[in-house]
Structure 1
Amino acid sequence: MNSNRELDNIHYTLLLCWACFLIGSHTVMARFVVETNSLSVTSPDSIKGQYNSAIGNFGVPDYGGTLAGTVTYSSENSAACSEFGSTDKFKARPGGLPVILVVDRGSCYFALKVWNAQKAGAAAVLVADDRDEPLITMDSPAEDAGAAEYVQNITIPSALIEKSVGDKLKKAIHDNEMVNCKLDWRESVPHPDERVEYEFWTSSNDACGAKCKSQIDFVKNFKGAAQLLEKGGYALFTPHYITWYCPEAFITSRQCKSQCINQGRYCAPDPEQDFNQGYDGKDVVLENLREICVHRIANETLARPWLWWDYVTDFQIRCPMAEKKYSQECAEQVITSLGLDIKKIRDCMGDSEADVENKILKAEQEAQIGKGSRGDVTMLPTLIVNNVQYRGKLDRGAVLKAICSGFEEKTEPAVCLTSDMETNECLTNNGGCWQDVKANLTACKDTFRGRVCECPLVNGVQFQGDGYTSCVANGQGRCKVNNGGCWHESKDGKTFSACSDSKPSGCECPAGFKGDGIKSCEGEDIDECKLKTACQCPECSCTNTWGSYECKCQGDLLYMRENDVCISKKGGSGVGWAITMIVLLCLGAIAAGGYIVYKYRLRAYMDSEIRAIMAQYMPLDSQNEVTHHTHEEA
């Protein structure tokens, strides 16, 4: 028995070594890409410039944003492997910039350094490498129960910087120079269009410790936001699962048979790392495959790919390994409850015992290799947004912020513009953009990365201008929107405007006013009465008014402005009645004449009919006698 257990351990060690070899071979065949953000040193001038820094794989990077701060360094606790003893040692003072702490690499976990700095009040951490080498990604401790709790509580961003950059910063600080810098995550995630494409590399294994718990919690907490984004057409989500294959020399071993399907082609580690009890790696492979098929069938048959989130969440709740419910039977109960076709799911999964390739799992293995801007996927869990690996903890707010930074400006959905996601700069001094307070119009538009000043489109009318100092309405209908930005004023019950729909653009003071037409038309009022350009009829009297004039006629005369004449109110009334009587008489005469003609024609018609009928019985004076013929007998 002991020899068998030793042999099992040898085989297991060989398998782990082979997995390491596969990962190592990917390093040669593909590329590992370190996701970076831009580090800008703004002072002193001696080291001013831009440098790369590798984003830590924990904490909360400020995707889509920036962080400017004062850089400091603690020589007493340079590696930050122990607590600093004060919760506000690096806390920003009122009116001061946030503090960015530089710490040395080595002696303890990256995450522990950042955790200690956060507890001391630092806003961000820069870990200075202790050797000259290409930047690597700072990862959280693996399978460390003690570290799991504080890793999940890290909320500040961190990044690794090259040794040469760290030396420059520390020297400037030592020389008592003020060192300021800015961390910029705005371009960390590409944002080419109005839809974000993201992937989540995960596993159905729920017995792998802290990382499995973080995956489970993330799926449960992020489900609502994920489904909202996908239902609205804002995002395209694809789940993925890492698998490895068994070396040909070990295909017939008990370890490969328990961890792999399809004759060693697709494998997963034993959940308990114990081949003698509990679940096997192949159980995990099969459930991973089932979850891929749930996503595929839900999309193909129901056009509802977001059901994946419901299935995975329900499966984790109803079918956990700890309760020995992790099984095909339990999985298919969840599938049925979601209205999916079990047979189609089974057909999608294929035969796990056959000595053939599984197209779906083969595609998953190929997808693990990095392409374009994305490096190889080697860690679980891994989130990829617009083909760039996300760095930071699996937290709903942090991940949503990364996804929101992947939208083209001004196309972000409403969920990205809530107060807990970003600061609306338009609320302070209108973002420095043009605005018309009276008409409640503004050129300020809030986006995830900050405000933009762009003249608005109002009721189909496009305002044009630089968006900062000027926006003027153009085109038909512009006068209905804030008078087209032109001058307008009401006085004495009259309203005048310098805007005219007959002119597609521009403002011109109306007749009787002088000015620029935009800010003022208050110049000298033209007195049409004195200029004798109005009220020229003999009976007229002219009175000048604001922007116009009034004409009145003497006595009972009525003024007609269009013709500049006075007419009699009574005369106009008599003429009107005379015309009406004449029209009525004419209509009566026409009606009487028509009736007479009608009666005459009717009488003539009746006479002709009667004459025709009587002619059949007796000869009339106007007819010849009718000759009667008889037939002679033969």
Structure 2
Amino acid sequence: MIWRLGFSMWVLFFIMVGIGTCMARFVVEKNSLKVTSPESLKRDYECAIGNFGIPQYGGTLVGIVVYPKSNTKACKGFDDFDISFKSKPGGFPTFLLIDRGDCYFTAKAWNAQKAGASAILVSDDKIEPLITMDTPEEENSSAEYLQNITIPSALIEKTLGDSLKRALANGDMVNVNLDWREALPHPDERVEYEFWTNSNDECGPKCDSQIDFVKNFKGSAQILEQKGYTQFTPHYITWYCPETFISSKQCKSQCINHGRYCAPDPEQDFSKGYDGKDVVLQNLRQACLFKVGNQTGKPWIWWDYVSDFAIRCPMKLNKYNKECAESVINSLGIDQSEIDKCMGDPDADEDNPVLKAEQDHQIGKDSRSDVTILPTLVINNRQYRGKLERNAVLKAICSGFKETTEPTVCLKEGIETNECLKNNGGCWEDKHSNITACKDTFRGRVCECPVFNGVKFVGDGYTHCKASGPGRCEINNGGCWKETRDDMVYSACVEDDSKDCRCPWGFRGDGVNKCEDIDECKEKLACQCPGCVCKNTWGSYECSCTGDQLYIREHDTCISKTATAGFRWSFLWIIFAALTAVSIGGYAVYRYRIKRYMDSEIRAIMAQYMPLDNQNDVPNHTSQVDDNI
């Protein structure tokens, strides 16, 4: 009887979930399938990304389509039919086109992968909007192969599948390109992502996979968060108990806050083990721990707590409880009182602010659909599809960065392919200075003229790049002509903001490939005075005079050396005489000014004691004042 009640309640919870799912707005995440041949089918088509395997987020996969002659639904292994789809060395990868129906999507993908296919295209069996191919639920979710599927998958519409089959039947070679580069938005240098999870560790392979993911992804997640590359938020799904059943024993064991927040029984049996209420409380504790960690500037501590709790407090060891959780919290140096304050009273007949916000956020907004699948990653407001595995998720997060802004972890081998390593990616390269315009990004290389040692290069990045601005002559001479002869160095690079190369004085040319010496003598540009003799040199010229003459370059003239000497002595005597006259004149002026100064001082002193004649007539103002009294 108890088992029946437990089972009935479990069914009730799934009815509730089913109702929520039916009413929810579920957005199918899509990528692009480009058919490049035959010509009649050449264009872009939409396809739905499968929620298993490893989609190549941020990248592309080119291959040829093959439709099997037997086992067209791929519900059996192709070994039974002695068929292999493994591509030969140097050949195109195989995209196996299979029909929908008769078995799980994951079984089709696994059979195709074992046969050597690089991707699968599942053709729908009826005309309808695209759906998301997901992993099986309940008893079939324990299949071991589920975690081993690595090839990407896509569901295509029936009309496209039929067209591809007809083209193959006519003997046409069908080439396609699966493109995930725009599957996730990538607007700027920071990625925002959410992880919708559950603290329950006894729900089968899905719980195992998300616990393993947290442990394996923790290091990468914390580094990305600490360096400001990402903004991470964990979330938890809860359900509410219908008002009719709030007072029932089953709802009370699965819910808190009078039926407002519930979770299914972990063992699907209310007569033993943990209750859904225990899961809700632990979910709330984890959400509050993140909130407190975020307030103290350490949101990444959530990863430490969740991974440590899974190791130290598992359900199977009967340690999934408050005491074990608090011991983990204390070991991480977190204030337990702040956690308790955040969690509030689970028995209160009122909303819990944290869980109420979680339920509100579960509803999709803008381009994001409602969250109905656990576990789910939401990256830049789009739901991730594919295997919950470190490298697969890291690829998806890396595809959310704007080109050239991604962190170095996104450019490591195994995460992306560095196209710059082969033929420099087809970009400009200066092999002498080891400077290249090829810049590796997660989505592929870009040809962009670089900044090298503080000097900016300008150009198209493909055929040419030239150093520009101050300092440019220090790098490959700014791309200009330069030559040395007999310890003489001439360069066409000018150290200014100019981007041009100009031949120096004494040379002519384009300044880039060559600068030729100008023969100033031959072109009569110098040494044109009578008696001058011109001799051309590299970059300059030399002038001399015949006989006993001296060449004056400033005036381009020849003068006698003797006359020059006499001229120089006469000039010196003139200067000496002039200086003497100036000195004498200056001395006379000095004596004159001194004499006048002394005279004025003497007159001033005498005026104080010997009144002048013109002072006798000054009236006596004092007597006049007295008379008026």
Fold conserved (TM > 0.5)?
yes
Distance 1:506 1:201, change over 3 A: same
Is 1:139 matched up with 2:137?
Answer: no
Q: 1:274, 1:535 → 2: CA distance?
A: 112
Q: CA deviation at 1:334?
A: 1.0
1:386 matched residue in structure 2: 380
The counterpart of 2:202, out of the listed 204, 207, 213, is: 207
Please name the residue that 1:277 is paired with. 272
Distance 2:71 2:121 in 1: 14
Which of 223, 229, 247 is the matching residue for 1:252? 247
Task: Indicate yes or no: 2:343 matched with 1:364.
Answer: no
Provide the rounded CA distance (Å) in 2 between the counterparts of 1:502 and 1:45: 54
TM-score, normalised on structure 1?
0.83
Q: Deviations over 1:450-499 (max 9, x none)?
A: 11111122343322221112222333332233322222222322222111
1:143–1:210: 8 Å Cα contact kept in structure 2? no
Distance 1:13 1:432 in 2: 60
Equivalence for 2:157: 162
Q: Equivalent residue for 2:215?
A: 220
Show CA shifts across 1:480-523 (max 9, x none): 333222222223222221111246231111122222111222x3
Q: Distance in 1 between matches of 2:408 and 2:250?
A: 50
Select the residue among 32, 40, 57 that pairs with 1:63. Answer: 57
Counterpart position of 2:298: 304
Cα distance in structure 2, aligned partners of 1:551 and 1:152: 89
Equivalent position amino acid for 2:519 in 1: D
Count of residues paired in the alignment? 562
Query: Structure 1 stretches of 5 or more lacking a match?
Result: 576-634
2:539 alignment counterpart: 547
**1:518 counterpart residue number:** 512
1:77 equivalent among 57, 67, 71 = 71
Q: What is the CA–CA distance in structure 1 between the aligned matches of 2:207 and 2:554, rounded to whole Å?
A: 87
| Secondary structure of 2:506 counterpart | coil
Q: CA RMSD in A?
A: 2.7
SS of 1:170 mapped into structure 2: helix
Offset of residue 5 of structure 1: 4.5
Structure-2 change in CA distance of 1:564 and 1:201 (3 Å): farther
Q: Give a deviation string over 1:425-459, Cα, whole Å, max 9, x none.
A: 11222211222222222221111111111112234
Mind listing any 5+ residue stretches in structure 2 that lack a counterpart?
570-629
SS, match of residue 89 in structure 2: coil
The residue type equivalent to 2:20 in the other structure is L
Aligned to 1:604: none
Q: Which residue is equivalent to 1:325?
A: 319
Q: Distance in 2 between matches of 1:134 and 1:495?
A: 74
User: Counterpart of 1:383 in structure 2: which amino acid?
Assistant: L
Partner of 2:111: 116
By how many angstroms is 1:560 displaced?
10
Counterpart-to-counterpart distance in 1, 2:361 and 2:310: 25
Mapped pair 1:427 → 2:421: yes
Contact 1:12-1:255 within 8 A present in 2 as well: no
Answer yes or no: is 1:178 the counterpart of 2:178.
no
CA contact (8 A) 1:145 1:210 kept: no
8 Å Cα contact 2:507-2:518 kept in structure 1: yes
Which amino acid letter does the alignment assign opposite residue 323 of structure 1? L
Give the Cα–Cα distance (whole angstroms) in 2 for the partners of residues 209 and 481 of structure 1.
Answer: 62
Contact 1:87–1:120 (CA under 8 A) maintained in structure 2: no
Give SS of 1:500's match: coil
CA distance in 2, matches of 1:562, 1:323: 102
2:12 is aligned to 14
Residue aligning to 1:607? none
Q: What SS is found at the alignment partner of 1:343?
A: helix
Label 1:566 to 1:247 Cα distance change in 2 as closer, same or farther (>3 A).
farther
* In 1, Cα distance between equivalents of 2:545 and 2:20: 106
Cα gap change, 1:319 to 1:445, in 2 (>3 Å): same
CA distance in 2, matches of 1:488, 1:408: 41
AA matched with 1:385: I
Partner of 2:281: 286
Change beyond 3 A, Cα 1:550–1:417: farther
Q: CA deviation at 1:397?
A: 0.6
Q: 2:550 & 2:473 partners in 1: Cα distance?
A: 34
C-alpha distance in 2 between matches for 1:384 and 1:560: 85
Distance 2:105 2:364 in 1: 25
Distance apart, 1:233 and its partner CA: 0.6
User: Could you tell me which residue of structure 2 aligns to residue 236 of structure 1?
Assistant: 231
Matches within 5 A, 1:28-43: 31-43=25-37
Supply the distance in 1 between the matched residues of 2:82 and 2:434 (Cα, whole angstroms).
46
Identity, in percent, stands at: 64
Tell me the secondary structure at the aligned position of residue 50 of structure 1: strand
Aligned to 1:105: 100
Instruction: Describe the SS at the equivalent of 2:463.
Output: coil
Map 1:408-419; keep pairs closer than 5 Å.
408-419=402-413
Which range moves more in the overlay, 512-521 or 287-296?
512-521
Structure 2 Cα separation of the partners of residues 90 and 252 of structure 1: 59
State the distance in 2 between where 1:484 and 1:277 align: 79
| Secondary structure of 1:356's aligned partner | coil
Task: Quote the residue 1:195 is aligned against.
Answer: 190
| Distance change >3 Å, CA 565–CA 390, structure 1 → 2 | farther
Query: Aligned with 1:367: secondary structure?
Result: helix
**Does structure 1 residue 451 correspond to structure 2 residue 428?**
no
Separation in structure 2 between the aligned mates of residue 49 and residue 174 of structure 1, nearest angstrom: 20
SS in 2 for 1:528: coil
Q: Which moved more, 1:447-456 or 1:84-93?
A: 84-93
Shift of 1:170: 1.1
Does the residue aligned with 2:234 lie in a helix, a strand or coil? strand
Partner of 1:315: 309
